[in-house]
């Protein structure tokens, strides 16, 4: 009789999906910003955009946009294999590559999906940082596809912190999760390098501003994250050796 072994990555992804579903089913999601007039708001569900966030804040979005066939890049590493199986379990479409290995090819593979109507998502500082510093990949994807970039960040009142380079946060059961989205950013197909660099900096600034806002909102127990003023961002939360 032959013995069949289930690959560890498949088993880990399956367990992670079950645990994530149990956790997020107990959480309360709140979206900040008026959906039609506010300066921070999510696009309409039928709009096809390129979602951008930090690697530290990625996990809740995978569940929030579950089974929406969002295309996402996963690195070629062992962790990337686990991440690839995890997002696929929630109905996302993983494309393998990163800024360090096979990044350009992966971006090119994402283009046809986006052109067919899929939304896409990228952790802008992945795969290894520095944390809170955006890379150019998503700007390039926006330029190739004509789709807008929409920055999004979440914060919550109770979470675990993983021992990863970016100190990934995982919400605990029964958490209050705040989602904030910025106005879409468009990149012309004939945009110059300087223009693209300006977009990259703008995206980085928006993500950090929103991250700061939602974290302060949670800390102060407020009901409107857009009204919170605070210092730009608390990078010292991640030890220097990991930046």
Summarised one tens digit per residue, pLDDT across range 58-74 is 999 999 999 999 999 88
CB count in 10 Å sphere of residue 231: 7
Q: Are 61 and 53 in contact (CB under 8 A)?
A: yes
Task: State the pLDDT at residue 144.
Answer: 95
φ/ψ region of 240 (left if φ > 0, alpha if ψ in -120 to 50, else beta) reads alpha
- Summarised one tens digit per residue, pLDDT across range 117-167 is 999 999 999 888 899 999 999 999 999 999 999 999 999 999 999 998 899
Q: Which residues of 210-221 are buried (b: 16+ CB within 10 A; e: fewer)?
A: bbbbbbbbbeee
How would you label 148-161 residue by residue, b for 16+ Cβ within 10 Å and e otherwise? bbbbbbbbbbebee
Sign of the Cα pseudo-torsion (194, 196, 199, 201, in order) = negative
* Whole-angstrom distance, CA of residue 60 vs CA of residue 172: 11
Under DSSP, is residue 204 helix (H, G, I), strand (E, B) or coil? helix
Handedness of CA 198, 190, 130, 232 (dihedral sign): positive
Tens-place pLDDT, residues 150-161: 999 999 999 999
pLDDT band at 5; cut points 50, 70, 90: low
Least confident residue range of 29-33, 104-108, 201-205:
29-33
Neighbours of 163 (CB within 10 A): 7
- Least reliable range by pLDDT among 74-83, 130-139, 159-168, 200-209: 74-83
C-alpha distances (whole Å) from 228 to each of 23, 75, 105, 212, 219 are 28, 35, 41, 9, 11
pLDDT value at 37 more than 80:
no
**Angle of CA points 193, 232, 239, to nearest 5°:** 95
Please state, in angstroms and rounded to a whole number, the distance separating the CA atoms of residues 206 and 152.
Answer: 9
What residues are paired with 153 via a beta bridge? Answer: 180
Would you give the distance in Å from CA 27 to the centre of its chain?
18
Query: Domain extents for the chain?
Result: 28-242
The CB density around residue 194, as the number of other CB atoms within 10 Å, is 8
Closest CA to 242 of 78, 76, 131, 134: 131
Strand partners, 30: 178
């Amino acid at each position: 009789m032959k013995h069949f072994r289930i690959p560890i990555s498949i088993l880990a992804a399956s367990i992670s999906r079950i645990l994530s579903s149990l956790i997020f089913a107990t959480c309360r999601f709140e979206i900040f910003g008026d959906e039609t007039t506010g300066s921070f708001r999510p696009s309409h569900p039928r709009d096809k955009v390129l979602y951008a966030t930090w690697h530290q804040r990625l996990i809740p979005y995978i569940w929030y946009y579950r089974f929406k066939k969002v295309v996402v890049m996963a690195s070629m590493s062992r962790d990337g294999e686990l991440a690839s199986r995890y997002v696929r379990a929630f109905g996302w479409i993983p494309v393998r590559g990163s800024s360090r290995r096979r990044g350009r090819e992966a971006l090119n593979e994402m283009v046809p999906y986006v052109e067919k109507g899929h939304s896409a998502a990228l952790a802008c500082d992945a795969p290894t940082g520095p944390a809170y510093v955006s890379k150019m990949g998503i700007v390039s994807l926006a330029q190739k596809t004509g789709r807008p970039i929409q920055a999004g960040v979440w914060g919550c009142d109770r979470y675990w912190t993983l021992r990863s380079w970016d100190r990934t946060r995982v919400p605990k059961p029964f958490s209050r999760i705040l989602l904030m989205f910025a106005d879409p950013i468009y990149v012309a197909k004939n945009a110059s390098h300087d223009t693209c660099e300006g977009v990259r900096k703008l995206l980085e600034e928006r993500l950090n501003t929103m991250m700061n806002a939602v974290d302060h909102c949670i800390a102060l127990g407020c009901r409107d994250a857009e009204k919170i003023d605070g210092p730009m961002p608390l990078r010292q939360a991640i030890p220097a050796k990991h930046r």
